[in-house]
Amino acid sequence: MAYVGTLADATHFCDKNFIVARNMEFMVDEDAVRGHTADTKAMIDIWLLPEQLNDCHSTCHLTLQYGWLLHRGERWKGKSTLRVLSYVNEEVDRARVKENVESMVKRFRLDRGRGAVAEVSVHLAPPAADWGPSYGNGDMLRLLSDKASVVFCTVPMPPHSVDEYDNYLQTLHDLSHSLPPVMMVHGVQDTLSSAM
């Protein structure tokens, strides 16, 4: 619980962004890029989850920037492909959400030049009845990003109430278990870098 308390204090009282890294034991040594071969580029997947797309643009902006910075970093440059993904529960929302995601990609000029985003896609989540009652965001990530080298995803703000800390920790676990290395991002300040 103290862990979630630290995240809550950082966001609520100190106005700080955070990244929670999980599954780092699946990262390869520093001289290699996980998933990269002579014939295949490694994939860096950035997930803008529906809850944050609607309410937390700072979180989405930071998640895009962090993923792009890794993709353009010396170790990954030329060896990775950048994908930006989201999903909707209703087909009628798909075009609107894709337009929203594409506008964020354009805002940070991630759609231009070498190293541009290779794919922006918005998927339709299967009906909850097909997944069972425990279906959640993590299921979509596991379904579509199981071959990614690194996954970046948005996460909600930690709760104010100590009584909710266990639920929040469970949310982080449910989102990230059985994934490749994952960086879970929450932002309260809009921009990491203005010179991209």
Residue 191 included in any domain: no
Query: Is residue 192, in this structure, part of any structural domain at all?
Result: no
pTM, full prediction? 0.86
| pLDDT tens for each residue of 114-136 | 667 778 889 888 765 555 444 56
How high does pLDDT run on average in the chain? 81
111: domain range?
2-26+42-186
Question: pLDDT value at position 30?
Answer: 56
* Domain harbouring 157, CATH code: 3.40.50.620
| pLDDT tens digits, one per residue of 37-82 | 556 788 899 999 887 777 677 888 899 989 988 888 888 888 888 9
Q: For the segment 1-41, what is each residue's pLDDT rounded down to a tens digit?
A: 687 888 888 888 888 888 889 988 777 655 556 555 556 78
Is residue 130 situated within a structural domain? yes
Distance between CA atoms of residues 43 and 155, nearest Å: 20
* Domain presence at residue 170: yes
Confidence label for 145 from pLDDT (cuts 50, 70 and 90): very high
DSSP state at residue 125: P
Is residue 93 a part of any domain in this protein?
A: yes
Report if residue 124 sits inside a domain: yes
State yes or no: pLDDT of 113 exceeds 90.
no
- 32 domain-assigned: no
The DSSP annotation for 126-177 comes to PPHHHH-TT--HHHHHHHHSTT-SEEEEE-PPPPSSGGGHHHHHHHHHHHHT
| pLDDT tens per residue across span 166-195 | 988 888 888 888 889 999 998 887 665 544
Residue 146 included in any domain: yes
The total of structural domains in the chain comes to 1
